[in-house]
Amino acid sequence: MQAPLYIMVTTMAKPRPPGSKLTSSPPYWETKSLEEMTPDEWESLCDGCGRCCLLKLEDEDTGEIVTSDVRCRLLDGDTCRCADYSNRKAEVPDCIKLTPDNVRSISWIPPTCAYKRLAEGKGLAWWHPLISGDPETVVAAGVSVRGRTVAELDVDPDTWADHEVDWPNWEPED
């Protein structure tokens, strides 16, 4: 009977720099509160879905807020990006800048919003670009407004109420 043959397999990995760890540290969104994030970290949490840029309508009698499929005049319907982000408040005075303080109290923020999810302790969803590595997963998951809206300037304000939709409150399963 022949002795078994053992083969040792090795890899030629790059050597690690001195002092480096074998495991990487958790990402900032898992270790920092919203208040502790840098401006760049905060901004990177936006998944680019465009849901917050849909016009909301408030019933004057009941105070109920509904979302329409009418997008802000600055939101590009194809890219779901603001056409003038740095000057948006000058262009659209009632544009609301999300902050760690107000993200917890604004009722119309969609349940898919990364800011809201982190504030509620849920973590980022599987389709978020920081998790998936691909901004198109927001579209594939059905979270993006791409192709689902009409431009504010193309709709008579008197008919905005006819554009009420409930899909911005839908969220895919984690």
For the CA atoms of 145, 100, 55, 40, the dihedral, rounded to the nearest 10 degrees, stands at -50
Which residue ranges make up each domain of the chain? 36-168
d(CA 100, CA 94): 18
**How do residues 3-17 score in pLDDT, each as one tens digit?**
443 333 333 333 444
pTM reported for the whole predicted model: 0.82
d(CA 151, CA 155): 7
The mean pLDDT value for 148-157 works out to: 96
**How do residues 48-73 score in pLDDT, each as one tens digit?**
999 999 999 998 899 999 999 999 99
